[in-house]
Structure 1
């Protein structure tokens, strides 16, 4: 409904017009009546009309004075003047203020209604034009924002950037931060819908607004820039403390940067979280430098034995040990993930009859793990599934269980073999033992013993760095043949024993 105000110093005309016009049929509402221009201004201050129908000649403040004063404050109000033939000069003055509609007194309902409808048509046309302009401006703004957002995504995700992108980022950091900024990363560590991540992003920008953050949402990560200062670090710490009870997320802040070309990618920022626990706050003083080499060996056979014996805790401890060693050596997350994915695939190859995992899907999932603890959690669940799945199959026979126990006890015995075990411990036919072992364990007895001994060699060498190769060979059952031990070790592990004992 369009609001109408009537102004005339003659009460009869005011009452007459207000009563004869069917306001609702014209999509209008009469909101007030005034006897002069001053009263009209007071009413307009209380409730601004869309249309004012006013007389020209009035005491106090006439129609010309009213429109002159009101135009400054209410430029969008439309005017209809009531005038007599003798007031034509006044009407010409009103035209200077954009007044286009006049009614000659006396006028009837039809004339007044036609004038109102004409004004309403004009208002609607202007509103449509304004909406169109607003829509165009909104689209232009969204387009500009989208272009900037895409540029930020390229900056943080792609290795090779165009010269235009590099230059744009350089100019942006110079203008916004006067070449003193930090990279920041907020990583949401639980599944959330995209709109929830966006809401969290807005909360971050609002909380850190004094540091002028510029961020972009990439999957579950909010990454960008902010003006560097000690206050930024403290405010981010307080934000983390205030909100991590309702949402699991970690924060990474870089050291001070002075040039937009000093780029840190999203993956580089995420790498700093790899050896941290979930819900971490990582200021620049706690960043680590990663090593690009490692002598970590994978205790596959040891884990297999524990799983065959349904010892999930012991099997998981082997994984935890590998993770702990990589964390101590600050192995690059890419290399660490490669080791742990290899461990998963090797373990699955030992259980080919247990199709409990979609291996390609798991590898893809592991590559996206942010924290190393996610691998530990996954292996814990995997071991439980393998053992549970195994319960549905025939359990290890008592004789194979005994064979595994003797391997653990006698791996340092150079005489350990299938024949020796059959003759000296189990007192059974060696051929029968070999067949049942291969059937239940999936590999020959001699192969299993060799792999187990090599895994034990790795374990001993990592604990006793001063041990000699010949001593190590003797400890794990290779007797006086360290050369054969070294050749076999390298063939299985890809390294020589001396590279573990004396890493370069």
Structure 2
């Protein structure tokens, strides 16, 4: 039920308003009345009101002054003005104050009812929106904490404090991380995986920093994890028919401090989908063991390729590929499928090694058609040419880590003037580059989209400034380029896990 406050210097008007409507039928309750603006303001400081209905012309404090002062208490207060004067100047001032309606006395009850119904609709939408935002904020906080935990970026004390605040129970003996991917409707898969995890109590759902949906599971014993995941796969297939779904899992580990190990294995296991595209469940331990046995039987020395990649030796890598595959082709019992598997595994090793060197998830090395191209090669030369092409791309990726001059200038501008209004559109005009191309170039060279990089840099700068007790939070927001406080708070929570105000308090504790 929403609360209404009435103000008018005529007692019979107040009494008439009370009796004119069945307020409860609108889910409204009159919580107070006053006969002048000053009295109304004093009462509003002590009670909550969603709707203020006020006269304009009153002694002590008029209606317009009351609205201004009351809005400093309740920013979202909805106001209806009553007046016996059809004065355009009053109406204009009221409109500037964001009133819902300006009703002339004697009051038209149909118009009053319609205005109230409109306000109620807005209030209902606001509550629903607040609930949606709350759920979104909780999800952002949860993802932040879980990602920091799995990446070893948070100490046990802070982890337990944050987990308790979010209602996350980490006091479990066994932990296993599962990650899910789909072929087409990835967002649908993420939402469904999270829904099932919460509904069936499978563990803590989260989205990692690469956008992959996951669940931190807590099996009762080490053998239970695979059974849970297979049941989860069946549920996902039922909910998303036609979707190619795969889940990768790390090993079951003991204790929260080992959770990151299981997550790292699950991430690596997902890479094996490149070699085994038909597998729905990718278990890191079994896949890694298979790879080790394949290494021995196929006699490819992956460490040699790792050294050549790190040394950026393209020509020597090409020669090594030609030499190894010519030898494999002559080996007893060799088949085309085994040669193709060797090529795919070498490509996967290059991808994993490149990611380890650059400390990032390298996605450009393997495209969606890479496996098809290797499997469809009609000759040994055509297949090795594809492998050499990918090896060269890997080396070039390391060589080109030095930023292009344009990207270097843009990064310098962000670092020196992050408070300015910066966008790909304005920067593309400045450097005479198409904004789409500039965005792709920026992401290729930094690993982040322009907006992601800019927001992260601004938040890091804000964290530094929050250590200065002389600066207010709203001042700091503007100093780093945020003019909308709501957006600043949302971005800060997303990257840091707490609000700017909470972070400032922690620094000053």
Same fold (TM over 0.5): no
User: What TM-score do you get using the length of structure 2 for normalisation?
Assistant: 0.36
User: What TM-score do you get using the length of structure 1 for normalisation?
Assistant: 0.37
Structure having the higher Rg: 1
